[in-house]
Amino acid sequence: MEILGLDIGGSGIKAAPVNIETGELTAERFRVPTPIPTKPESVAEAVQTLVNHFAWKGPIGCGFPTVVANGRCMTKSNIHKSWVGVPVDELLAEKTGLPVVVINDADAAGLAEMTFGAGKGQMGLVVTVTIGTGLGTGVFYNGQLIPNFELGRIYYKNGEIIEYFAADSARKKENLSYKAWGKRFNKFLKHTVRIISPDLFILGGGASKKLDKFENEITVEVPVIAAENKNEAGIIGAAVAAHLKLNA
């Protein structure tokens, strides 16, 4: 069975059909720029462009870059404020005429990793971290997703959110070495351990490819491993989420 996976990001919206038995993309990934401003109707138009590109007629799974509860956008995060309160699933389903399931984008990336990657079969409390512009987190207990666990949004000091201090975007913005930035990221991990005592961290996103450059700065006693699904994680996980909901 195939489901179209969509990953709505700050700069681009990516899509591809996914074989939900294997986690493999069955066609080459296609991307369109995220509209600016990222208002609901313009994003829906972009999604329709992706659906048309694949001449898609089946179900769609969508990763969305903020808290999503029962398909509804709950917070602004890094998107336009007009999204707050919008039932994203209904909007996209009405636009495309197809069944759409929407979840938080970090949860989608985590689902991909727990289903087809380094998290497969891992029990206990597992935290997947997508290191990029922010710190997207997915939290799983015995393989089951606990949705919308946005640990990167925790307040750190002076009212600052910790992802502004410890995400890969902070490393680039402040031109930090991986060693210096790794100490910051370690503070995020230590903070998370203090709060929820996970059994395993799985690191994904762009910076995870450079784990060898900062792993010596990580001092938490919890095991830390690299994710296996790279740029396709959001697409794959969105398709998995749709499959789970539509077949519940």
Residue ranges and CATH numbers for the domains of the chain are 2-107+231-246 (3.30.420.40), 118-226 (3.30.420.40)
Which residues in the chain belong to E strands, given as ranges? 2-8, 12-19, 24-25, 30-33, 60-64, 68-69, 72-73, 100-104, 125-131, 135-141, 144-146, 155-157, 160-161, 200-204, 224-226
Which pLDDT score, from 0 to 100, does residue 106 have? 95
Answer whether residue 230 shows pLDDT above 90. no
Q: How far apart are CA 87 and CA 73, in angstroms?
A: 6
Confidence of residue 229 (pLDDT cuts 50, 70, 90): confident
pTM of the model: 0.94
Secondary structure of residue 125 in the 3-state scheme: strand
CA dihedral sign, ordered 58, 246, 66, 105: negative
Secondary structure of residue 51 in the 3-state scheme: helix
64, β-bridge pairs = 104
Q: How far apart are CA 161 and CA 123, in angstroms?
A: 29
Per DSSP, 87 falls in state: B
Answer whether residue 205 shows pLDDT above 90. no
2, β-bridge pairs = 19
Answer whether residue 173 shows pLDDT above 90. yes
Which pLDDT score, from 0 to 100, does residue 151 have? 96
Which pLDDT score, from 0 to 100, does residue 10 have? 82
Q: What's the mean per-residue pLDDT of the chain?
A: 95
The Cβ of residue 213 has, within 10 Å, a number of other Cβ atoms equal to 14
Answer whether residue 206 shows pLDDT above 90. no
